[in-house]
Amino acid sequence: MSSTRGRFISLEGGEGVGKSTQVARLAAALRARGLEVVETREPGGSPGAEAIRTLLMEGTAGRWTPETEALLFAAARADHVARTIRPALERGAWVVSDRFLDSSLAYQGGADGLGAEAIRTLHAIGSGGLLPDRTILLAMPLHEASNREWVRDAGELDRFGARGADYHARVAQTFAALAGDPANGPARYRTVGALGDVAVVTDRLIDAVADLL
């Protein structure tokens, strides 16, 4: 189920690929074209979902089981969709989100092994199966993204960043498989190179949504 009036864009990829940087830049470029744009993120994007974000991001590595984490991400997403995303789309705004469903498919479904079907079932229950009009995977070699993350966070890793190279390789593999899977609808997914000057990457993103303008 896609949005109806406004447009819903999600940026996806592993840690450090530049999603937050590019959400802000893409939103600014769309505003310069006269559009109302809501910048948002997951987990988070509404007061309730931000409270759940704190539960997910803080604490010990083993604080939650993979199943509990999947439920918490789905619950946060349900509140985000109900309180922020759907109202914005219904009034005709564009929504640009730093992560959405595909992050749950890649981390909980792929890297944690829960499988896509379980994640999609939670999404159907929590968020009515809402899908972005366009999902853009920012792609770059894992070690370069890790270097960016390491420099940005001065070596302080959160619960997810600390999971190690094998985990993040499984995340990257699942994202690549999602982007290449015709079942996701070739109209929804685009892969964009995340290496290079920030302005050049933004130009690639604008090209990747140009048909929706």
Distance between CA atoms of residues 137 and 97, nearest Å: 12
Which is nearer to ligand LXEULUCI, 57 or 213 (by Cβ)?
Answer: 57
Partner that binds at residue 201, options ligand ATP, ligand LXEULUCI, none, CB closer than 5 to 8 Å by kind: ligand ATP
Is 50 assigned a ligand-binding role in the annotation? no
Count of residues that bind ligand ATP according to CB under 6 A = 14
Give me the 103-142 binding string for ligand ATP, x by CB under 6 A, dash otherwise.
----------------------------------------
18 binds ligand ATP per the rule CB under 6 A? yes
CB distance 97 to 11 below 8 Å: yes
Which is nearer to ligand ATP, 16 or 45 (by Cβ)?
Answer: 16
Cis bond upstream, residue 43 (ω within 30) = yes
Residue 157 tokens, joined: 């890793």
- Binding region for ligand ATP (CB under 6 A) out of 12-20, 57-65, 118-126, 168-176: 12-20
40 binds ligand ATP per the rule CB under 6 A? no
> By the criterion CB under 6 A, which residues form the site for ligand LXEULUCI?
15, 41-43, 73, 99, 103-104, 107-108, 160
Provide the sign of the torsion angle of the four alpha carbons 86, 88, 94, 95, taken in this order. negative
Residue 211 tokens, joined: 């048909």
Which is nearer to ligand ATP, 107 or 189 (by Cβ)?
Answer: 107
Query: Which residue ranges make up the annotated binding site?
Result: 13-20
Binding site for ligand ATP (CB under 6 A): 13, 15-21, 148-149, 152, 196, 198, 201
Query: Which residue ranges make up the annotated binding site for ATP?
Result: 13-20
